[in-house]
Structure 1
Amino acid sequence: MQLELNPAVDLDLARQQFRAHRRVQVPNLLRPESAEALAQAHEQNRRWFLSYNEGANNVESDMADIQRLTPAQQAQFMQAIHRRAAKGFQYCFVQYYISENIKRGEDPGHPLHAVERFLNSAPFLDFMRALTDEPGIHTADALASIYGPGHFLTDHDDSHGSRQRVAAYVLQLTRQWDRNWGGHLAFFDEQGNITDAFLPSFNTLNVFRVPQPHAVQLVAPFAQGYRRSITGWVHR
């Protein structure tokens, strides 16, 4: 799978918006054929894990194992997640951690692994250096994510103790979405008001400076689709 930036992207405008607001949406990031190929690879992937945290511990559970739970066990599992979410930072969504799987030598030749090659190519890294005014950016990581009904990511700022994150990105691959379904990437002021919220969309790159308070709003139980994306960070 060959991925290419769309030469029609207005980098100057995007950079101005990023400087002013510390975040930006860049529509039509990829050439149409690249966006379609990536979306199909995402939609056709069958290796997914439920990603959630138990306090400070990050956990991945194979979706096949989750689906084998009885309805009562699944309800008990989600109740525990909701109890933790009521008191502190919590997330629950589906992912395939591209970068980590490549590091571990798992799934060689997997179609989604081409994303990491693209994200660490000169054209994309140069684009991100120019967009963020950070010439020291030298690498990017990636995971594929799905947010379905009931999935969420509560308020946090993406700070990391050992990694030098410059900015977070979300390459959106959601074909159709109703704003009433939730799943917005929301940003907050010091009073907790939402100052900005990005709707799930298709072939749109969201970029925001780290640290910055944000969350992925709960996807409504009546949502008739999935919020699909490739997400990660660019690092010094």
Structure 2
Amino acid sequence: MFAPREDWEEQKARFAVDDRLRLPGALPEALAEDIHGLLSHASFATMLARNGQGVALGEGDISSMTPEQRTQLIRDVYKDAGHGSGFLYDGHQLAGSSDPAMQGILARINAPETLERVRELTGITDITHADGQATRYRGGHFLTRHKDDPGGQQRRIAYVLSLTKNWHPDWGGLLQFFENDGRPRDAWAPGWNILSMFNVRHIHSVTYVTPFAGADRLSVTGWFRAGEPS
């Protein structure tokens, strides 16, 4: 999956400093354009947290609500977020997708040569597979501060393959990192054909996407894991 490059040892050394890596030009350009095209025309569910529970709503679920119900839904989502736990974005799970082309994206991520390169870059030798979803963030979307290491799921490395063109940082949607005490650290803006990888110990968020954002924040995200695929 990775584009040919001659700086793998340099990238490996960068990851070793802080268990994080931002890799521009990650995919061959033609492949990046192909995946971008798939994401641009994919069907998405609305992924949100309401009253502490994750919910996926299809287009029919949203359209069947009254205006008052939709307003209350957003109020509930924002109430959870105001207490530090919540998310709102569009998602499409790649595994089991009804679109074979979307399944093909996950197959490329799980190609033996891709997994071997990730093991080499990170030094985590027990990585066996990856999961993934396509994500689309629009105005009003966000993902509050969290870690990606719930017990029992054997997540090792989180990844974000950013396939967003002409994004302006003022639009939000930044991959924001935090210190363990909650202080903001640094942030990585969405961009074109950039793969971000980081150890799941890192606290992070996706900052609020402003109503005036002029594009969709498109990416493929997930985790490289150990163990057997579920």
Shorter-chain TM-score range: over 0.9
Matched to 1:190, the amino acid is N
Among 167, 171, 176, the residue aligned to 2:166: 176
Among 89, 95, 98, the residue aligned to 2:91: 95
Q: TM-score, normalised by structure 1?
A: 0.91
Among 126, 130, 152, the residue aligned to 1:162: 152
Instruction: Specify the alignment match of 1:33 in structure 2.
Output: 30
Question: Contact conserved, 2:49 with 2:80, CA < 8 A, in 1?
Answer: no
Give runs of ≥4 in structure 1 deviating > 6 Å: none
Q: How does 1:1-236 map to 2 (within 5 A)?
A: 4-8=1-5, 10-45=7-42, 47-99=43-95, 102=96, 106-107=97-98, 109-236=99-226
Matched to 2:16, the amino acid is R
Matched to 2:161, the amino acid is L
Rounded Cα–Cα distance in structure 2 between residues aligned with 1:94 and 1:198: 20
Q: CA RMSD in A?
A: 1.5
For structure 2, the 5+ residue unaligned runs are none
For structure 1, the 5+ residue unaligned runs are none
- 3-state secondary structure, aligned to 1:233: strand
Structure 1 residue 17: deviation in Å? 1.3
- 3-state secondary structure, aligned to 1:112: helix
Rounded Cα–Cα distance in structure 2 between residues aligned with 1:150 and 1:235: 30
Report how many residues are paired.
226
Q: Over residues 114-136 of structure 1, what are the superposed CA-to-partner deviations in whole Å (9 max), with x where a residue is unaligned? A: 11111111111011101110111
Q: TM-score, normalised by structure 2?
A: 0.93
Structure 1 residue 36: deviation in Å? 0.5
Question: Contact conserved, 1:9 with 1:29, CA < 8 A, in 2?
Answer: no
Q: Over residues 25-52 of structure 1, what are the superposed CA-to-partner deviations in whole Å (9 max), with x where a residue is unaligned? A: 000111010000010011111x210111
Q: Over residues 45-77 of structure 1, what are the superposed CA-to-partner deviations in whole Å (9 max), with x where a residue is unaligned? A: 1x2101112355321110332144344332221
Identity level (%): 31
Rounded Cα–Cα distance in structure 1 between residues aligned with 2:6 and 2:31: 14
